Amino acid sequence: MNELQALLMGIFQGLTEYLPVSSSGHLAIAGELLGVEDPEKVMAFTVAVHVATVLSTIVILWKEIVWILTGLFRKNPGGGMNMEQQYAVNILVSMIPIGIVGVFFKDWIEEAFGGLVVVGCCLIVTSMLLGFSYFAKPRTKENISVTDALIIGIAQAIAALPGLSRSGSTIGMGLILGDKKEKLAQFSFLMAIPPILGMALLDFKDMLEVGIETAMAGISTSALAVGFISAFIVGCIACKMMIELVKKGKMIWFSIYCAIVGVSVLVWQLLM
């Protein structure tokens, strides 16, 4: 992977990690188009872009993160949990499904569901979910409940499949459950920080096991830096943009986009 390929792959990662179009699916498509045999197997690059997207989330949502952290140790005068503590509990609950999938089924999913045909099918499923969430018009709840957090977390775990958008699945499921648009994107991105960071740590552990030379195979230090910086900058822009788009209820355009790309990928694969 050269500097130009790393730049473009970093842009794809930063953009598609937040927009509901599947980062894993688009990285697979981009890798095929750019001549990168399998970007996920360039271990150092995978770790770098995951860390970059986590940092971009922290930069954009730092006020919300500080709000949660400062409220964790503040007692509620009325007893029970305060809002910040309840929010933290919801995030922890949402992490349970993806934690189970990441620890026990990550390698199996990567082996069993590889290939662009799966990506195309999952993009179509993402399109259907986003479309349904747009037209469902459910009631609006004031706050995300623990039960909703668990269901949204299950949606995030299922989105481990390549081509099934994580943000699309979590935000779409939240809309179907009737949670407020203003709070959903923020919750979706905050709940993604621990799993993405956990995935990066697991990949880093694999890097140490195989050795740095093997992990850096196929990419130079300069290309790695280019990929990291591009993923971080574009991630910041995409994260902020996505929060505004969810508030304005414009998810239907991503549904149409995912349907077009999904069908195009399937046709492409059938004609190869």
53 contacts: CB under 8 Å, gap ≥ 6? 13, 14, 17, 18, 196, 231, 232, 235
Task: Write down the pTM of the prediction.
Answer: 0.82
Does the pLDDT of residue 208 top 70, yes or no?
yes
Query: Which of the two residues, 82 and 35, has the higher pLDDT score?
Result: 82
Number of domains in the chain: 1
Summarize the confidence of residues 105-132 as an average pLDDT. 81
Q: What percent of the chain has pLDDT over 70?
A: 87
Query: Which of the two residues, 272 and 18, has the higher pLDDT score?
Result: 18
| Residue-wise pLDDT tens digits, 194-207 | 888 877 777 777 77
Does the pLDDT of residue 14 top 70, yes or no?
yes
Burial group, residue 220, by CB count within 10 angstroms (0-12, 13-18, 19+): middle
User: How confident is residue 1, by pLDDT bands cut at 50, 70 and 90?
Assistant: confident
> What percent helix, strand, coil does the chain show, rounded to 5?
80, 0, 20
| Residue-wise pLDDT tens digits, 57-110 | 899 989 888 888 888 777 777 767 788 888 899 999 999 998 888 777 777 777
* DSSP bridge partners of 141: 179
Domain that holds residue 79: 3-271
- The confidence score (pLDDT) of residue 150 equals 94
Summarize the confidence of residues 139-167 as an average pLDDT. 85
User: How confident is residue 246, by pLDDT bands cut at 50, 70 and 90?
Assistant: confident
One-letter amino acid of 136: A
One-letter amino acid of 56: S
User: How confident is residue 149, by pLDDT bands cut at 50, 70 and 90?
Assistant: very high
The whole-chain average pLDDT of the chain stands at: 81
Summarize the confidence of residues 167-192 as an average pLDDT. 85
- The answer to whether residues 127 and 262 touch, using CB atoms and an 8 Å cutoff, is yes
156: nearest Cα among 9, 20, 15? 20
Q: What percent of the chain has pLDDT over 90?
A: 12
Structure tokens at 3: 């500097």
- The confidence score (pLDDT) of residue 218 equals 67
| Residue-wise pLDDT tens digits, 78-88 | 767 788 888 89
Summarize the confidence of residues 113-137 as an average pLDDT. 82
C-alpha 166/C-alpha 153 separation (Å) is 10
